[in-house]
């Protein structure tokens, strides 16, 4: 994948498919490293499942026998001098406190790192696909932070209006564009 934002979309989709209703996405740029993490309250994974995540021939999906999301992320991370960490608590073992946190670091200035790309497009795509999930998005840079919380937006809109409606998605796009314009200076 040519844009980092597509890795963010792909990895976050794992949390969506794990049935999470709260998903936090954080990007933090500091001292030449970018740390990306996604935490969710989805069904989680057993220790055995976590151990097999870096194996591209492991997947629980039935339509295709390979799972490349985490291997892609790990490859980019390790190529640029970073590492990937996954912690998970399965619903079976921790019925009241389950979920997964994946975090990966990257050398921003490493020659093998790729452009961040359209992060706003990724956030919009996630909300469009799962308007009922409470996503939070924080992109922390030395120049400032871009923050979005679906729960805050939902509190204004009430329950009758979907975050996936076009008008709301356009507002979110404008909000994020302004946020990014502010930290550009």
Partner 1 sequence: MKSLEELMAIKAKMKDKVAIRQASDEIRVVVGMATCGIAAGARPVLNAFVEGVADAGLTDKVTVTQTGCIGICQYEPVVEVFVQGNEKVTYVKMTAEKAKEVIEKHIKGGNVVAEYTIGNVNV
Task: Find the shortest distance in angstroms from Cβ 47 to partner 1.
Answer: 24
- Tell me the C-alpha distance between 133 and 150, whole Å: 8
Distance of CA 184 to the CA centre of its chain: 22
Count of Cβ atoms closer than 10 Å to residue 39 Cβ: 19
Nearer to partner 1, 1 or 33 (CB): 1
- Tell me the C-alpha distance between 123 and 16, whole Å: 13
- What is the number of H-type helices and E-type strands within the chain? 6, 6
Nearer to partner 1, 34 or 120 (CB): 120
Instruction: Write out the binding residues for partner 1, residues 13-32 only, by CB under 8 A.
Output: 13, 17
Instruction: Write out the binding residues for partner 1, residues 72-91 only, by CB under 8 A.
Output: 72
Single out the residue of 95, 115, 142, 158 in contact with partner 1 (rule: CB under 8 A).
158
Count of Cβ atoms closer than 10 Å to residue 43 Cβ: 18
Single out the residue of 31, 48, 96, 160 in contact with partner 1 (rule: CB under 8 A).
160
174 is a contact residue toward partner 1 (CB under 8 A): yes
Contact 104, 80 (CB under 8 A): no
168 is a contact residue toward partner 1 (CB under 8 A): yes
Distances in Å between the Cα of 69 and the Cα atoms of 18, 72, 86, 149, 156 are 14, 5, 13, 25, 35
Site residue total, partner 1 (CB under 8 A): 37
185 is a contact residue toward partner 1 (CB under 8 A): no
131 is a contact residue toward partner 1 (CB under 8 A): no
Task: Find the shortest distance in angstroms from Cβ 63 to partner 1.
Answer: 4
128 is a contact residue toward partner 1 (CB under 8 A): yes
Q: Which helix (H) or strand (E) holds 23?
A: strand 22-30
Report the relative pairing of strands 22-30 and 134-141 from DSSP bridges: parallel
Q: Which residues contact partner 1 by CB under 8 A? A: 1, 6, 9-10, 13, 17, 61, 63-64, 67-69, 72, 118, 121-122, 124-125, 128-129, 153, 156-158, 160-161, 165-169, 171, 174-175, 178-179, 182
């Amino acid at each position: 994948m040519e844009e980092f934002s597509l890795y963010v979309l792909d990895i976050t989709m794992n949390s969506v498919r794990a049935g999470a209703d709260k998903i936090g996405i954080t990007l933090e740029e500091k001292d030449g490293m970018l740390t990306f993490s996604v935490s969710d309250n989805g069904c989680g994974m057993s220790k055995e499942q976590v151990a097999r995540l870096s194996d591209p021939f492991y997947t629980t999906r039935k339509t295709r026998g390979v799972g490349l999301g985490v291997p892609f992320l790990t490859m980019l991370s390790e190529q640029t001098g970073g590492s990937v960490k996954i912690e998970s608590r399965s619903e079976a073992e921790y019925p009241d406190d389950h979920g997964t946190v994946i975090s990966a670091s990257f050398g921003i200035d490493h020659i093998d790192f790729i452009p961040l790309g359209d992060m706003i497009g990724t956030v919009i795509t996630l909300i469009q696909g799962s308007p009922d999930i409470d996503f939070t998005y924080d992109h922390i840079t030395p120049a400032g932070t871009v923050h979005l919380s679906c729960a805050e937006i939902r509190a204004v809109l009430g329950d009758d209006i979907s975050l996936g409606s076009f008008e709301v998605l356009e507002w979110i796009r404008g909000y994020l564009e302004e946020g990014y314009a502010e930290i550009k200076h």
